Structure 1
Amino acid sequence: MLSFILWNVRSNVFPGLEIPKWYGLCWALGIFLGYQVMLYIYKKEGKSFERLDKLATYIIVGTLVGARLGHVIFYDPLYYLQHPVEILPIRFSPQFEFTGLAGLASHGGGIGVFLSIYFYSKKYHENYLQILDRVTIVASLVGACIRFGNLMNSEMIGVPTDIPWAFIFSSADHVPRHPAQLYESLFCLLLFVLTFSVWKRKADKLPDGFLLGIFLILLFSFRFFDEFLKIDQEAFEASLPFNMGQILSIPFVFAGLILIFKKPDFKIHKS
């Protein structure tokens, strides 16, 4: 008889209390660890810590707003057109509820990061691609924490399987499934190690945007194939040749290829 991993973790940390939830703590852990890594990078490169605080604020706001709007636009626009107030972290039906970090889309978060850093670079006259090269190192680590939070929440579960390490998510059903969110978490952790190592050894030798390009190609290529192991998040995805996560990943991969193979005189806002 096959032995699988029974996953019976409650989403809230303390019994009887709605908050804090593991997902929120994983977000907080990712932000904390990411900030520590950026402190290390800024110290090594002799940059202002005061500027880092400003950059962190831009990124956090851009990530959360982008991730929320990404979910609204890409996954359920008709619902939110009818219930626009629920774009905010609240819900009125069937009763008033603070939903917190529920309903976030990572692709929207990525777009939010690109835009927020662009505005930051314009205001403080810093090199856009250089900032993104450093931020992608941190993004891998934060992504690992967030995907582990998805595992703790028993969400984004995988398709049924009989592999020995299959998870049985007791809050969903008693079917052995791929722990797809764990695969992505571990891959993000490996990507963090890779990008951090490359920066530490060759930061001054790489063209601007190279680390970002590597990050986009590897992460979103993995995401594209990992989506085959996940169940669809929304019913409409069943009628599509690829699910929404895969469709949204393709432009990021192409953007990464452009950055890697761009000509030396290719520029994106270098101040």
Structure 2
Amino acid sequence: MLVHPQFDPVAFHLGPLAVRWYGLMYLVGFVLFVVLGKYRARQNLLTGWHPRDVDDMLFYGVFGVILGGRLGYVLFYKPGYYLTNPLDALALWQGGMSFHGGFIGVLIALWLFARRRHKRWFEVTDFVAPLIPLGLGAGRLGNFINGELWGRPTSLPWAMVFPQVDAQPRHPSQLYEFGLEGLALFALVWFYAR
């Protein structure tokens, strides 16, 4: 049985700014998106794509994931609190993002990108699909570092105790998702997108 190391959620400070591990995982996802997207565009795997399209798509996607993720958190998880404290919804540094809201935000952002660039929706989603899994995997690593989204109790030898939750050994589901949703899904989608 393993014990979660309870990492400090702050990776480092830049003056008064606390840079959190979870935020760094977003950055890792964005960088991987750009690097792999530009590689795909240069390889002419899909006609009509240019490396600068990837920069523009990232611009749309960053806004979509951050705005959608925060709005989703506000609406899905703490609507009562934010109705009485609406300005706190803008306090991103306090944490609180929703995967579901981020997903919806990215879909809307990609739709806007497709309309602006006069591309078909499925042309955009086909281009983007292989670029997403590694970012999802990075997000799961961020969840592991934060000690959140742990799994069900188990007696398996690699079970992990998350002391901030309870003393029960649990599945380290964040690491499963990193491996399957991040690495394995990336390999499959990248291979089949060729």
TM-score, normalised to structure 2's length? 0.88
Partner in structure 2 of residue 49 of structure 1: 51
Partner in structure 1 of residue 64 of structure 2: 62
Partner in structure 1 of residue 167 of structure 2: 174
- What letter matches 1:121 in structure 2? A
- What letter matches 1:7 in structure 2? H
Partner in structure 1 of residue 191 of structure 2: 197
Partner in structure 1 of residue 129 of structure 2: 136
Give the Cα–Cα distance (whole angstroms) in 1 for the partners of residues 150 and 118 of structure 2.
43
Structure 1 SS opposite 2:72? helix
Larger Rg, first or second structure (1 or 2)? 1
Give the Cα–Cα distance (whole angstroms) in 2 for the partners of residues 18 and 151 of structure 1.
22
Cα 1:114/1:7, change in 2 over 3 Å: same
- What letter matches 1:29 in structure 2? V
Structure 2 spans left out of the alignment, 5+ residues: none
Higher relative contact order (CA 8 A, sep 6+): 2
User: Is residue 23–residue 153 contact of structure 1 (8 Å, CA) maintained in 2?
Assistant: yes
Give the Cα–Cα distance (whole angstroms) in 1 for the partners of residues 119 and 77 of structure 2.
34
Structure 1 SS opposite 2:19? coil
Partner in structure 2 of residue 5 of structure 1: 2
- What letter matches 2:83 in structure 1? L
- Structure 1 residue ranges, 4+ long, deviating more than 4 angstroms after superposition: none
Partner in structure 2 of residue 115 of structure 1: 108
The answer to whether the aligner puts 1:124 opposite 2:117 as a matched pair is: yes
The answer to whether the aligner puts 1:30 opposite 2:29 as a matched pair is: yes
User: Is residue 6–residue 167 contact of structure 1 (8 Å, CA) maintained in 2?
Assistant: yes
Cα 1:161/1:55, change in 2 over 3 Å: same
Matched residues, number: 187
Partner in structure 2 of residue 227 of structure 1: none
Give the Cα–Cα distance (whole angstroms) in 1 for the partners of residues 171 and 180 of structure 2.
15
- What letter matches 1:81 in structure 2? L
Partner in structure 2 of residue 243 of structure 1: none
Structure 1 SS opposite 2:124? helix
- What letter matches 2:42 in structure 1? K
Structure 1 SS opposite 2:139? helix
The answer to whether the aligner puts 1:148 opposite 2:141 as a matched pair is: yes
Give the Cα–Cα distance (whole angstroms) in 2 for the partners of residues 48 and 116 of structure 1.
19
Cα 1:87/1:131, change in 2 over 3 Å: same
Give the Cα–Cα distance (whole angstroms) in 2 for the partners of residues 52 and 172 of structure 1.
40
CA shift, 1:14, in A, is 4.5
- What letter matches 2:61 in structure 1? I
- What letter matches 1:61 in structure 2? F
Cα 1:172/1:12, change in 2 over 3 Å: farther
RMSD after superposition: 1.9
Which whole-Å deviations, capped at 9, do the CAs of 1:168-201 have from their partners, x for residues lacking one?
123433321111222212111211110000011x
Partner in structure 1 of residue 180 of structure 2: 187
Which whole-Å deviations, capped at 9, do the CAs of 1:72-95 have from their partners, x for residues lacking one?
1222222211111111125xxxxx
CA shift, 1:67, in A, is 1.0
User: Is residue 80–residue 87 contact of structure 1 (8 Å, CA) maintained in 2?
Assistant: yes
Partner in structure 2 of residue 104 of structure 1: 97
User: Is residue 30–residue 58 contact of structure 2 (8 Å, CA) maintained in 1?
Assistant: no
- What letter matches 2:2 in structure 1? I
Cα 1:104/1:116, change in 2 over 3 Å: same
TM-score, normalised to structure 1's length? 0.65
Identity of aligned residues (%): 32
User: Is residue 157–residue 177 contact of structure 1 (8 Å, CA) maintained in 2?
Assistant: yes
User: Is residue 12–residue 18 contact of structure 1 (8 Å, CA) maintained in 2?
Assistant: no
